[in-house]
Every structure is written in structure tokens, then in C-alpha cells.
Amino acid sequence: MGLVVVVVLVALGVLVVVKGRRRKGQGRAVSGEVPVPRLRVVALGVQGSGKTVLLTGMYRKLQSPGDRGFHLKVPFDQLIELNRWYREVAGSDTGWPAGTTRKDMREFDFGVMTTVGDRAATVFDIGYLEYPGELLTDPDAPGSTAQQQLLAAVPEADALIGIIDGLRVLQAHQGDRRGLSVLHTTLDAMVHCMLTVRAPIAFVITKWDVLDQLHEDENTRLEMVRDLLMEVDGFRDLVTVHSARRVVRLIPVTAVGHDFAVLDGDTVRKRPDGRFQPANVELVLSAVVPDVLQQVELAVDVRTRQAIMAEAQRRLRVGPAEALRTLTAFVAERAAKAVAATAGGFTAAGLALLLESRAEPDPGYQERLSALDEADRWAEEFIQARRRVVRRLQDQVAVFEGRLPASRLRGDAP
């Protein structure tokens, strides 16, 4: 396990050096020693698809540890904004929150917190960047660079979220031509942005509650939606081409619950006596880390991983401090380049987290821990805490896939 800690600390250190050159704010340090990686998530969705309501539901669900052992924290100004949207969403006498306007590209900073030793610490960050929906469907305003920023941000993302309006899915299923047209143009715009990137993708079906009428069994309902989406040429091509070498997921969510709103014609209205009970919203962010890990594992061959571990073991014999110094150059010059050529996106941190999650138990861990100085002990506990969070996230995704196997999109799906 000591070997893995060294490799992990080195890979995360390389992340700050290599990735920091490319985009500001990529990582930060805890206690001046342990770098905190930052995952950058880009969310795409047209106007009215429920992006703001989804964002509110995700944070509300994950803002306290519950039985997960981790929670999200945002800067206080963002907390105020999220709470305002929550009051608008959950209030029976208020309308839905206003959507993102062209001037309001929003990036939220979610710190993933857990207990390290006797205090809470951020083990990694998720930057959630949300773009106005009209940038996907309308020409950019004269003099504006917003659309260019969107097109530049997508290939730089560590994970992509495509938000699909469940109401449009229902309309398409019912044969409504306008609903079908909107769904197709939405998917065409998303696929155009996503087709050439290598990051994992989660397509999110919002307003899942309006689709309850399709079938009483949720997985059967999701299969019906999947089959409808796979009839769209571009969507099917994306899944077929990329599902073998990257993660493509379909997550149904209701940010308000199955008994809070009612469909009135083409409008979703709140019920005066409705129960606010979001479902599956936490999976949108919880799947990011496991999906990045699997992306790296799919892209990096076994020989590359074995070479990294063997070299780390050889250099570790000279002592942890010296190994850390020399391994930094090794990972920067060889390991990071090896994975960057194939994995794309969050390569160094993804490799580090992958090594953490695959680490074998260390029988001498407690004895070795007692011999470390205070700084090294903190770093060791920090890595152990992050590993627990990663494994918890992996468990959540495994349970979700077991409950809804149709959520994993594959080109050979019936």
C-alpha cells in the first residue's frame, strides 16, 4: 500500500503541474502537501430541460453525509443561490426557477468532503459548468464569444452530462411531431459536441415522473426510452462507436419526485398537495468519479500500468522522500504521456485514483503508520479517506446499475 500512496501522491502532484498549465484552478493543496484534484464537468441541455432544477436537487441530496460518509460543500455565495432556487422549486405557491440566460454561464464548485483523522477535509473537487441552452440551438449574439467558449470547454471536460427533457421524450413516444422534432434537434446538437471527445458521458432524462405512465416497472420504462433514443441516427452512432472504449450512461432523474407535479397539456405544474421527494439526482455527480476511473482503465493497457508500478517499486527502495522526488520526473515524462495519448481528459488524477482503488491491503499498515512523522501521517490518512470515498461512489453506481441495467448504454443493446 505504501507503494500505491507514493505513486498516487506523485500522480496528483503531476496533475497540478501539467494540468495547471492548461486551465487555471485545476487543483489545490490541503495542508500545503497533498494536492486535491479537480474534475471538470460540463452540462449541456436546451432551455426548459430542467437544468436548474436538477442542479438544485443534486446539491440538496448530497449536502449532508447521510450514510454515504461524504458530502458536498460549495462557496457561501453559491449556497445562497442554490437555496434560493430550492425555495422556488419546493414551494407550492411559486413558479419554477428561471433558466440560465445567455449571460449566465454558471460554474459551481462542489468540494467532496469527508473525515480525515479528526476533521473534515476536501478530498477532491468537482467543477460543474452549466451553459445556457440556446447556445446549443441558436446563433450566437453579435460580438459574443459564449458559443466559442462552450465548444472549447467540451473537449477539455473530464466528464460530460447531456440533459434530455423527459417531457419531449414522452411527446416523441406519443407521436407528437413537435416534441419529436425538438428531441431530435437537441440530440443532434449534443452529439455534434460530444462525438469526438473521449470523456465519459452521462445522458440524464429529467422529469422522469412524467414518464411514469409508460410502464409500472422502472427498468422496463428506461428500456423503452433507451430504444426510442437509439432510433435517432446520431445518438445511436455515438453509443455504437464509443461504448466499447468509454462509458456512456443513461440516468433517469426526477428533481421533485413522483408525486409533486402533474402534466397539464404541455406544461408541468406543481400540485398544491404534492410531496417533494427527488429521486436519482445524486447519481448524476456520484457516477463521475467511477466513470473516469473506468475510462482510464479502458484506455490504459495492462503493460503500461505494470511498468509504472514496477518502476515505482524500484525507486521506493531509496526511501520515500527520494522516491517521491525522482518519481515525479518519471510520471511526468513517461506515465502521464502514456495515458494522455489514449485516455484523454483527467489522465494523471484518473490514473492515481485508479491505483488507489485497486490497491491491495497492506498487512503492515498500522506498524508503518506509527513510524511516520506528523506530515506523512496526515498524507497517509488523507489518501485512505479518499480511497473510502471512491469505493463508496463505486458501490453506489454498482447498486444503481444492478437496479436499472438499462442505464448502461451499449452499441449492441437490443
Segment 219-248, tens digit of pLDDT:
999 999 999 999 999 999 999 988 877 889
How sure is the predictor about 355, in pLDDT bands with cuts at 50, 70 and 90?
A: low
Q: Which of 11-25, 236-250, 348-362, 374-388 has the lowest mean pLDDT?
A: 11-25
Question: Residue 38 above 50 pLDDT?
Answer: yes
Q: What is the rounded average pLDDT for all residues in the chain?
A: 79
Are 203 and 162 contacting, i.e. CB atoms less than 8 angstroms apart? yes
Average pLDDT over residues 400-405: 96
What pLDDT was estimated at residue 372? 62
CA gap 57, 49 in Å, rounded: 14
C-alpha cell, 169? 421524450
Question: Residue 101 above 90 pLDDT?
Answer: no
Residues with Cβ < 8 Å from 6, sequence gap 6 or more? 312, 316, 320, 323, 324, 327
Q: Which of 54-68, 183-197, 214-228, 370-384 has the lowest mean pLDDT?
A: 370-384
Question: Residue 199 above 90 pLDDT?
Answer: no
C-alpha cell, 225? 426510452
- Top pLDDT among 404 and 362 is at 404
Question: Residue 29 above 60 pLDDT?
Answer: no
Phi, psi of 261 (to 5 degrees): -130, 165
Question: Residue 402 above 90 pLDDT?
Answer: yes
What pLDDT was estimated at residue 308? 66
C-alpha cell, 267? 406544461
Question: Residue 111 above 80 pLDDT?
Answer: yes
For CA atoms 316, 320, 322, 327, the dihedral sign is positive
Topology annotation, domain 37-286: Rossmann fold (3.40.50)
| The Cα angle at residue 276 between residues 273 and 277, in degrees rounded to 5 | 135
Q: Which of 143-157, 269-283, 296-310 has the lowest mean pLDDT?
A: 296-310
What pLDDT was estimated at residue 52? 87
| SS3 state at 358 | coil
Question: Residue 86 above 80 pLDDT?
Answer: yes
DSSP 8-state secondary structure symbol assigned to residue 266: T
Q: Which of 54-68, 244-258, 332-346 has the lowest mean pLDDT?
A: 332-346
What pLDDT was estimated at residue 321? 38
The domain locations on the chain are 37-286
Average pLDDT over residues 314-335: 49
C-alpha cell, 221? 420504462
- Top pLDDT among 345 and 63 is at 63
